[in-house]
Structure 1
Amino acid sequence: MKRKPLLLFAFPFLILAILAGERMATFLLGTYPASPAVWWIWLELRPLSTMLWQQIDFNLGDSMAADAAVLAAVSILCWIACHTRRSAFFFLTNHVALILAGLMIAVGSHSETASTIATFTSPSGLPFSLAVDFALKSSLVLLLGVAACAYCHVAFLAEARARSEARTVRILALRRDL
Structure 2
Amino acid sequence: MKRKPLLLFAFPFLILAILAGERMATFLLGAYPASPTAWWIWLELRPLSTILWQQIDFNLGESMAVDAAILAAASIVCWVACHTRRSAFFFLANHIALIFAGLMVAVGSHSETASTIATFTSPSGFPFSLTVNFTLKGSLLLVLGTAACAYCHVAFLAEARARSEARTVRILALRRDL
Q: TM-score range by the shorter chain?
A: over 0.9
RMSD: 1.5
1:73 and 2:79 matched: no
Kindly state the Cα deviation for residue 104 of structure 1 after the two structures are TM-superposed: 0.6
The aligned counterpart of 2:99 is 99
Q: Is 1:51 paired with 2:36?
A: no
Partner of 1:29: 29
Residues 29-178 of structure 1 aligned to structure 2 (within 5 Å): 29-110=29-110, 117-122=117-122, 127-178=127-178
Question: Structure 2: where are the runs of 5+ without partners?
Answer: none
Amino acid paired to 1:11: F
Q: Distance in 2 between matches of 1:133 and 1:106?
A: 7
Query: Using the alignment, how far apart are the partners of 1:67 and 1:153 within structure 2?
Result: 31
Give the counterpart letter for 1:46 in structure 2: R
2:105–2:138 contact (8 Å) kept in structure 1: yes
The alpha carbon displacement at 1:101 in A equals: 0.5
State the percentage of identical aligned residues.
87
Q: Secondary structure at the match of 1:33?
A: coil
TM-score by length of 2: 0.93
Instruction: Report the alpha carbon displacement of residue 19 of structure 1 after superposing the two structures with TM.
Output: 0.2
> Does the 8 A contact of 2:117 with 2:132 survive in 1?
no
Deviating beyond 4 angstroms after TM superposition, the runs of 4 or more aligned structure 1 residues are 121-127
**Deviation for aligned residue 1:77:** 0.4
- Compared CA separation, residues 121 and 54, structure 1 to 2 (3 A): same
AA at the equivalent of 1:74: A
Unpaired runs of 5+ residues, structure 1, are none
Counterpart for residue 8 of structure 1? 8
User: How far apart are residue 124 of structure 1 and its match?
Assistant: 5.4
Q: How many residues align?
A: 174
Residue 130 of structure 1 deviates from its aligned partner by 1.7
* AA in 1 matched with 2:177: D
Q: TM-score, normalised by structure 1?
A: 0.93
Counterpart-to-counterpart distance in 2, 1:106 and 1:44: 15
Query: CA shift at 1:119, angstroms?
Result: 3.3
